[in-house]
Amino acid sequence: MKTSENSDDLLVFEETPWGVAALLLGTFALPFVGGLYCIFALDRVIFGVGVIAVGALVLLPVFYVFVRRTQLVFDRPGGVVRKRVQTIFGDSETICSLRAVRGAEVDTLSPTENGKPERHRMVVRTASGEDIRFPKQYTPGGGAQRNADLVNGWLHAV
């Protein structure tokens, strides 16, 4: 997750999982190449098309679940906070009034028995209780705290 814009009027966080997308596209290339090999080298057209189709049917839902571009936009002139989620199948947007935002905090998962470290994510608290969690997953490290501090500083500035 990165901060793509930080001005008096706009604060924008973005998360684009390029690594996951590249890994999944590389994985999809295997059945695609295998299917083409079956079609052209082995003259087994139906089998080759079947390999490509099964690869697509298995990997497209996985691609949909794991590859999402998410933006969290704090817009002072518009008076709103927008959370935009873009996938290969469409976009969605959640809008909240900037006045309803109380601040940002860090939500933490404790270490697990299997040795995973503490993991964190930023949560934007609202007056209505419909908190905005960003990003969707928890991550290790101090990025969530830095982003929460940035949001709180931006909200109290100007």
> What pLDDT is attached to residue 69?
87
Interior angle at CA 86, CA 80 and CA 91, nearest 5: 75
Interior angle at CA 149, CA 145 and CA 150, nearest 5: 115
CA nearest neighbour of 97 among 75, 122, 72: 75
Backbone angles phi, psi at 37, to 5 degrees: -60, -45
Q: How many residues would you count in the chain?
A: 158
Q: Is 2 exposed, middle or buried (0-12, 13-18, 19+ CB in 10 A)?
A: exposed
Consecutive 10-residue averages of pLDDT for the chain (158 residues): 87 84 82 93 93 89 80 95 89 92 90 77 90 82 90 88
Residues whose CB falls within 8 Å of the CB of residue 40, separated by 6 or more in sequence, listed in order? 48
Backbone angles phi, psi at 100, to 5 degrees: -80, -10
pLDDT tens digits, one per residue of 23-46: 877 888 899 999 999 999 999 999
* pTM (two decimals): 0.73
The highest-level CATH class for domain 2-16+68-156 is mainly beta
> What pLDDT is attached to residue 34?
94
Q: Tell me the pLDDT of the chain averaged across its residues.
A: 88
